[in-house]
Structure 1
Amino acid sequence: MRRYQDIYPSAPILMSDGSVRPSAAELLSLEYFEAEPASMPHEVFSQHHILINLKAEPHRVENWRGEEHRDFTFRKNEVIVTPSGIKSGWRWHEHSRCIVITLDPAMLEAFTQNELGKVLTHQQLVDTPQFEDADLTAAATMLYEALRQSSSGSQIMFESLARIFLVKLVERYGDEQSEELAFSRAFTPAHYKRVLDFVSQRFGDAISIEDIAREAGLSASHFTRLFKRTVGDTPHQFLMRYRVEQAAKMLADKSKAAIEVAHACGFSDQPHMSRVFKQYRGETPSAWQRRHA
């Protein structure tokens, strides 16, 4: 069975395959496409596909979805869901700009049940083929930006935003609106962006959870619950993971002493960095440096 990406009218300008951590790739894959007016053949796919329109100007699109033919105006912030197992075809009448999120059904089911305690059925994905959701679009756009930047911390940013995107998607399609999902809705991509910007600028300082929560505009206890539920890590775990990522990059320069890297990355001393580094990387800083310097 061919993949959706195999029949798109043009090659993706940007794609996550091969450029993100395996733990992020297990959540979803992302491609960004731009294409001139064209058609796509009718195919059945084994993955779910989420199309997010980034084009500001409304434009005409035709979509064949099972036995249904839809001829409509595609507007910015509109999202189209094509579940696995449904024959789908497209005709774009104007230049398109789309993010395509691909989800493995088994992986999505595991995430939904294990992480959120929810059930997401195939039929639920079928029932709402198209909707407007600026929040979900914002999460997808930030995923795209994290992939495009390839900057310091972008790997952590992509994985965390992938989780945020999935939480937002399940909010829309979950079997019922639980207290937990309603709670998670309060943590938006904008909150996460403020947190990431703050951490990326201050990770070498002695910052507290209260400092990070204040930057997000939330109380420390409320922020911690929201962050853990939506991102998967506690704020402290996220900060430590970010510091380890930066330390690994600095250690690639053999001229930098380990104690210098430890202080630059906000660890209290070299042994502290070694303990945390091994916890998150499975090896000591010196072992990592020997392999990568």
Structure 2
Amino acid sequence: MAGTKSPVGQTTDSFGCPFDKLYKDQSLQGADISFFRKGTRDDRIEQVVTPASDRGFAIGISTLAGHTRRIFHERHATTHVFDEDSLYIRNLAEPYRADLIGAFDMLLLEISPASLNKIAQEADFSGVTMLEAQTASKDLVLANLVRALIPALEHPEEASKLFVDQLATAIGTHLVQRYGGKMQISALRSRKLSRSHEALAKNLLLENLDGDISIMDVSRACNLSRGYFIRAFRETTGVTPYQWLLNERITRARELLKGSEVSLSEVAISCGFADQSHFTRVFTNVVGTTPGHWRRNA
């Protein structure tokens, strides 16, 4: 996906970067978090401006080393060099103006104030309304979590809504825990799903083999908060909801491959994959060999 078309009449994106400078412009919506990937090969982009707004907070993670930003404050300017996996967090309520020096490939998150409050409540950090500002600091945990979304950003037609929501919840929890500036109000205690909730959740997941169901849909059916549900499901089953569903899809695929003569494309669709290519990539990654090779040796 090389990029998306700019809205008619707009010359810059919502972060102030000129559309004609972007060779990567990808987006994806997760649970309470909007994800973007922005990339440019230009050595310098001057006066990138984001006016103050009530949009909330922007978090950026650099996938490349060597990008530099000269940020202009009211009476002075500061220069920051971004290494690979370094990040920034800024409050969009404050105006922003900067010169961007060097090519960059940034993974961006945007969280509204209401979403931040919701994430904080579900993570047992009630009262968090702000994220601490950061510029060119390192957070490998956050970087690795957000990097896991790159395939979904590049191939949104193959992205599992369940996977994206689940990862968004983990990212949001990490952000409020590390940058929310509040002590945890209630300690995380051992939590497991009741048998009825476990059965209900698994049935809902199996009814949506392609993963096109949100964590919120499943947690609401169980009358649980999203964060509580994910932790309880993991403690009950040993894996996350997405991992459990992926294992079920691969198990079903193996049964079809071994016990029938249906084509690989039919197996792919029957097991909730976008197409045969998507099925082959996921199966090979999980099993260690292609579906065709596995079938021949089964």
Question: TM-score w.r.t. structure 2 length?
Answer: 0.55
Shift of 1:69: 2.5
**Are the structure 2 counterparts of residues 228 and 85 from structure 1 closer, same or farther at C-alpha, using a change threshold of 3 Å?**
closer
Shift of 1:171: 1.9
Shift of 1:66: 5.9
* Pair 1:174 & 2:180 matched: yes
Whether contact under 8 Å (2:51, 2:96) holds in the other structure is yes
| Residue aligning to 2:27 | 16
Between the aligned partners of 1:121 and 1:157, the Cα distance in structure 2 is 26
Shift of 1:228: 6.0
Shift of 1:104: 0.9
Between the aligned partners of 1:67 and 1:121, the Cα distance in structure 2 is 28
Question: TM-score w.r.t. structure 1 length?
Answer: 0.56
Q: Report the 3-state secondary structure (helix = DSSP H, G, I; strand = E; otherwise coil) of the residue aligned with 1:44.
A: coil
Alignment of 1:246-261 (within 5 A): none
| Residue aligning to 1:33 | 38
Between the aligned partners of 2:132 and 2:181, the Cα distance in structure 1 is 11
**Are the structure 2 counterparts of residues 169 and 65 from structure 1 closer, same or farther at C-alpha, using a change threshold of 3 Å?**
farther
Residue among 222, 232, 238 paired with 2:241: 238
Between the aligned partners of 1:147 and 1:181, the Cα distance in structure 2 is 34
Alignment of 1:115-130 (within 5 A): 115-122=123-130, 124-126=131-133, 128-130=134-136
**Are the structure 2 counterparts of residues 50 and 157 from structure 1 closer, same or farther at C-alpha, using a change threshold of 3 Å?**
same
| Residue aligning to 1:78 | 86
Q: Report the 3-state secondary structure (helix = DSSP H, G, I; strand = E; otherwise coil) of the residue aligned with 1:5.
A: coil
5+ unaligned residues in a row in structure 1: which ranges?
185-198, 204-226, 251-255, 267-293
- The two structures, once aligned, show a CA RMSD in angstroms of 4.1
Shift of 1:180: 6.7
Q: Report the 3-state secondary structure (helix = DSSP H, G, I; strand = E; otherwise coil) of the residue aligned with 1:116.
A: coil
Between the aligned partners of 2:167 and 2:231, the Cα distance in structure 1 is 10
Between the aligned partners of 2:183 and 2:143, the Cα distance in structure 1 is 20
Shift of 1:144: 2.5
Between the aligned partners of 1:59 and 1:69, the Cα distance in structure 2 is 17
Deviation digits for residues 179-235 of structure 1, max 9, x if unmatched?
A: 878899xxxxxxxxxxxxxx9xxx8xxxxxxxxxxxxxxxxxxxxxxx965946614
Between the aligned partners of 1:153 and 1:42, the Cα distance in structure 2 is 30
Between the aligned partners of 1:62 and 1:84, the Cα distance in structure 2 is 18
Shift of 1:120: 1.9
Alignment of 1:72-111 (within 5 A): 72-111=80-119
**Are the structure 2 counterparts of residues 65 and 148 from structure 1 closer, same or farther at C-alpha, using a change threshold of 3 Å?**
farther
Whether contact under 8 Å (1:30, 1:144) holds in the other structure is no
Between the aligned partners of 1:162 and 1:66, the Cα distance in structure 2 is 34
Whether contact under 8 Å (1:53, 1:98) holds in the other structure is yes
**Are the structure 2 counterparts of residues 54 and 38 from structure 1 closer, same or farther at C-alpha, using a change threshold of 3 Å?**
same
| Residue aligning to 1:143 | 149
**Are the structure 2 counterparts of residues 175 and 93 from structure 1 closer, same or farther at C-alpha, using a change threshold of 3 Å?**
closer
Whether contact under 8 Å (2:124, 2:185) holds in the other structure is no
**Are the structure 2 counterparts of residues 86 and 228 from structure 1 closer, same or farther at C-alpha, using a change threshold of 3 Å?**
closer
